[in-house]
Homo-oligomer: A and B are copies of this chain.
């Protein structure tokens, strides 16, 4: 008993954390409840129920399956489901008509064959990367509806009625999900992507900012503020799915319909490359092998300057992305950082192994900036 109680307390604490980290999760849950309750009204009111009967079920199913966290994901799934059902219903009725022209014996064989061929073809189509990214759900529903219409047509002569009712209830369910998703506290995948890209650049900037102090002074307190960049290392799949969702979204806020979402992915890739180098740099901090003290004192000033100027540049880029205002002093910071890097190099002239990492970090910073510029010009 004691154990299950502590389990409940633990779950409650996790739920609280989840809700506090992103209150939109709580709102989303309530929105889903609202949409399902609204759609189930079909059952409660006689006038509504007369029209659809048992097909009203499909409206409830559609809401449950289509309602996703972000507007883009919901719209994408809703459109996929609606269009796929329409096309497959059309094709299924056609196949049924064709098969019913033949003899009674060969009809099930023809139907079975067409179901087999279409199911296999569509399943293979789902392996195409481009299809998978945007139309995976649509292909699934296409296959599903075709099989249902085609096969149940063998038993029920009112195929057209079935197809029609199924389509209209799915449209109603989909519309309810999409409208509630868009008009009650919408969560835009595009804005999330926009913020994620900016936050990731900030994480890199924070590392560069703290690196000098950490390396030369060893403040001794925990380096947790420097570890933010680690989340950047594995951000690829999140960014890609957000960009996919964002492409379904209509104009909203500062984002137009054809906002160049792919450019965000390019900035994301460059940010990640920069993060890989920072990961290597971070290993110097923990490494047992360190440069002797006298060298460190010698390069401390230039080195700290180099890293703090990089930090300014990265943070200004992040701010520029966030506010969508062209940055003004980034080039100056990068130039300063380069001068500092050249200083470090000349101080290390007696040495052999150059500070390639930091230089590369700088180059990268530069290429980030270039992409950003392309993005703005687009």
Instruction: Please give the residue numbers on chain A whose beta carbons come within 8 Å of chain B beta carbons, in ascending order.
Output: 14-15, 18-19, 25-26, 28-30, 32-34, 36-37, 40, 43-44, 49, 54, 57, 60-61, 64-65, 108, 111-112, 115-117, 119-121, 123-124, 127-128, 140, 143-144, 147-148, 151-152, 154-155, 233-234, 236-237, 272-273, 276-277, 279-280, 283-284, 287, 289, 291-292, 295, 348, 350-357, 359-360
Contacts and interface: CB of A to CB of B under 8 A. Distances in A.
Contacts of A360: 280, 283, 287
Contacts of A32: 119-120, 123
A352 B123 contact: no
B61 A116 contact: no
Contact of A119 (B33, B57, B352): B33
A40 B353 contact: no
Contacts of A272: 233
Contacts of A112: 37, 40, 44
Contact of A355 (B29, B61, B124, B353): B353
A127 B33 contact: no
A313 B143 CA distance: 49
Nearest to A61: B144
A245 to B, nearest CB: 16
Contacts of A357: 280
Contact of A43 (B123, B154, B353, B355): B154
A144 B19 CA distance: 23
B36 A353 contact: no
A37 B277 contact: no
Given A115-B40, A289-B356, A348-B353, A148 B29 contact: no
